[in-house]
Amino acid sequence: MTAQTPVAPADSELIEHIEERALFARLETVRLISIAKTGHYASGFSCAEILATLYYGVMRLRRGEPDWPDRDRFLFGKGHAAATLYPLLADWGFFDAAELDEYTRLGNAFGDHPDMTRIPGIDFSSGSLGHALSAGTGMAMGGRLQGRPYTTFVLLGDGELHEGQVWEAALGAAHHRLGRLVAIVDRNDHSLDGRIDGVTGIEPLLDKWRAFGWQAHEVDGHDVPALLALLRSLAEDTGRDRPAVVVANTVKGKGISYMESEFGWHLGWLAERDEANALAELRGTR
Amino acid sequence: MSVAPGLQPESWHLLSLLEQAPGLQALGDTLADLADEGHPVVVGTADLKYSNGLVRFQDRHPDKYLQFGISEQHMVSTAAGLATTGLRPYVATFASFMALLACEQIRTDVAYTRQPVRLIGHHAGITLGFYGTSHHATEDLAITRSIAGLTVIAPADTAALAAALRATVDHPGPVYFRIGRGRDPDVYPAGTTLEIGKAVEHGTGSDLTLIATGSMVHPALGAAAALSADGYSVGVLDMHTVKPLDEEAVLGAARRSRLLMTVEEHNVLGGLGGAVAELISEHGVPVRLHRHGIRDQYSLIGPPTHLYGHYRLDAPGVEAEAREALLA
């Protein structure tokens, strides 16, 4: 099959579709964590719109062809939010959605962090924070060396920016003028031990990236029209000679009232009744 | 006003470094040859192109040469990303910074993802002499050997390095090459070939088999010659592939010799000596093993040749160590 999606419906329809898929990703996240009885709710919820916008509105992919050489690449720096990504990859026909029913079971391909050797559509394995921007740098270099026109997107957590290797990659990608590399920072203001500014401050973030030679942008990470416009413009700007970063302001745990900005929900599990309530809240039926 | 100094002929600087290191010239040249032949080679280094000879690759293929600056971890992860696009990255830095500093990137980004990245740790062991402990790599074999899916090769000389690069050019998984400072005396003639995982047998001995790797093959051969002249029956195995270990060769030696002695420019813990000990004990072969190398300590500083003498890692030293072990 060669049809590339998005199939370019009117933008308003597309935006509605992306928002619906972001909700679907959240609902599936709750379901998968329910199977494992542990997982990362809040980190997945903060980036649900970013993932849905990339996969349904921005990235060039082919349905059922996860290894298409000219596909846009996606690297998940904050790989612990993989449960929010898997349902979207199943949606693209990269594997049977029913496989997710076995999420985290013994010997299953699907764990808390994405594994490129076992899951079609995962462009790079991640889990150790700080590596993905380097690996993405390699993919962008490889694309340029071989004349392939794809864009490489790397989604980073803001806590991940504490890792020194991120800044090695920031220096290197700018030095090598990798215009087809786009980093997105999910700035949800929290890492495992609490608020970022209380753990190790990272501001002023846009100034830092600009000082490293990147084109830097800021956006509301839950505002699909804004995300769509910005990410599309970056993907289509093929003449850019420096990498671009999008600092997406998000809310950790977005979508479930008591999880929002409560860092304890970085990792957790909802028992049956609470899960039903959470799903109802996400669906807007509660 | 600057005054041009009248330098003596013996004076040298960084740009002439390679003239002293034919093994490192071979590194850059062989990789450039592979690129000429159409292999999808890209080469990178972390600010050491004069020290490791990759400037010779850059001269011939500037478009396939990548400078990473002093960012070894980033270099290794980037190589993994490059490999996913169908290229075959060879990245090089001092062995201490490759295997120790970037260890987790090697494990997680290269080996776990099964990417055909070639990691070249040069100036391994104590070859950096007086530059100090941070620059010595006497743990890299233990580290890389324990990473699943990673092939570990330590060629004995210039010709063996070229042969090893050629033997692995189409190897599907990642490879760690452990090499010295490019000044190892020749063991093999130019154009020699090498089979990954197959030790090179230099004679067989009923008294002793020396199992050596990398820079220690030459002194082991020297020691074996001296011991043989003295009436001992001595063989030498060049264990250029530390992983996967040539089990057949080791077990064969264990069955015919009353003593095995491993020789490595490495801590005796976890390296070649450890690999041989694990193998023969699992097979219950009744042979004594003496592990020769750096005995669980940080090596002294000093000129490399003096260090080799101090640690009995030159030919007379290996011979003396073997004589004591044979009489023990």
Mutating which of A72, A115, A126, A134 best tests the B interface, going by the most B Cβ atoms within 10 A? Answer: A134
Determine whether domain B14-178 maps to CATH 3.40.50.620: no
* Pick among A116, A165, A167, A178 to test the B interface (most B CBs inside 10 A): A165
User: What is the location of CATH 3.40.50.970 in chain B?
Assistant: 14-178
Look at residue B67 in the predicted model and tell me its pLDDT. Answer: 97
Percent of chain A predicted with pLDDT > 90: 94
Q: Match 């009353």 to its residue by tokens.
A: B258
pLDDT digit string, tens, across residues A155-177: 999 999 999 999 999 999 999 99
| Contact B85/A at CB under 8 A | yes
pLDDT tens for residues B253-296?
Answer: 999 999 999 999 999 999 999 999 999 999 999 999 999 999 99
Q: Which residue of B has its CA nearest to A175?
A: B68
pLDDT tens, position by position, A96-106? 999 999 999 99
Q: What is the pLDDT of residue B23?
A: 87
Residue B116 pLDDT greater than 50, yes or no:
yes
In this structure, is residue A4 part of a structural domain?
no
Looking at the predicted complex, does its ipTM rise above 0.90? yes
pLDDT recorded at residue A1? 37
Range of the domain at A153: 10-284
- CATH 3.40.50.920 in chain B is located at 200-327
How many contacts does A have with B, using Cβ atoms within 8 A?
99
In Å, how far are A64, A184, B180, B259 from A204, measured between CA atoms? 41, 16, 45, 65
On whether residue A20 sits in a domain, the answer given is yes
**pLDDT for B1:** 55
Domain of A101: which CATH number? Answer: 3.40.50.970
Asked if A134 lies within 8 A of B114 by C-beta distance, the reply is no
pLDDT of A8 reads 55
- Cβ contacts of B71 within 8 Å, gap of 6 or more: A165, A168, A171, A172, B46
Question: Which residue in A131, A141, A143 is closest to B109 by CB distance?
Answer: A131
Yes or no: is domain B200-327 CATH 3.40.50.920? yes
Look at B7-21, B75-89, B218-232 and tell me which has the smallest mean pLDDT: B7-21
Q: How confident is the model at residue B15 (pLDDT cuts 50, 70, 90)?
A: confident
Tell me if B78 and A131 make a contact (CB, 8 A cut-off): no
pLDDT tens digits, B33-69:
999 999 999 999 999 999 999 999 999 999 999 999 9
Decide if A180 is inside a domain: yes
Q: Does B168 touch chain A (CB under 8 A)?
A: no
Query: Cβ–Cβ of A139/B79 closer than 8 Å?
Result: no
Mean pLDDT in residue range A23-32 = 97
User: Would A32 be classed as within a structural domain?
Assistant: yes
Query: Do the domain assignments include residue A109?
Result: yes
- Residue B116: Cβ-neighbour burial (10 angstroms; 0-12, 13-18, 19+): buried
At A90, the amino acid letter reads A
Q: Say what the pLDDT of residue A88 is.
A: 98
Q: Note whether A122 contacts B: Cβ–Cβ < 8 A.
A: no
pLDDT of residue B10: 86
Alpha-helix residue ranges (DSSP H) falling in chain B: 22-36, 49-52, 55-60, 72-84, 95, 103-105, 140-145, 158-167, 217-229, 247-256, 272-283, 304-310, 315-327
Which pLDDT value is given to residue B309?
97
pLDDT of residue B2: 63
> Does residue B241 have a pLDDT over 60?
yes
Mean pLDDT throughout A173-201?
A: 96
Is pLDDT above 90 for B17? no
Given a cut of 60, whether residue A37 has pLDDT beyond it is: yes
User: Domains in chain A: how many in total?
Assistant: 1
Question: What is the per-residue pLDDT for A216?
Answer: 98
Query: Where does the pLDDT of residue A267 fall: very low under 50, low under 70, confident under 90, or very high at 90 and above?
Result: very high
When scoring A115, A122, A137, A168 by the number of chain B Cβ atoms within 10 A, the one with the most, hence best to mutate, is: A168
Identify the pLDDT of residue B6: 85
Distance from CA of B40 to the nearest CA of A (A): 10
Q: What is the mean pLDDT of residues B206-228?
A: 98
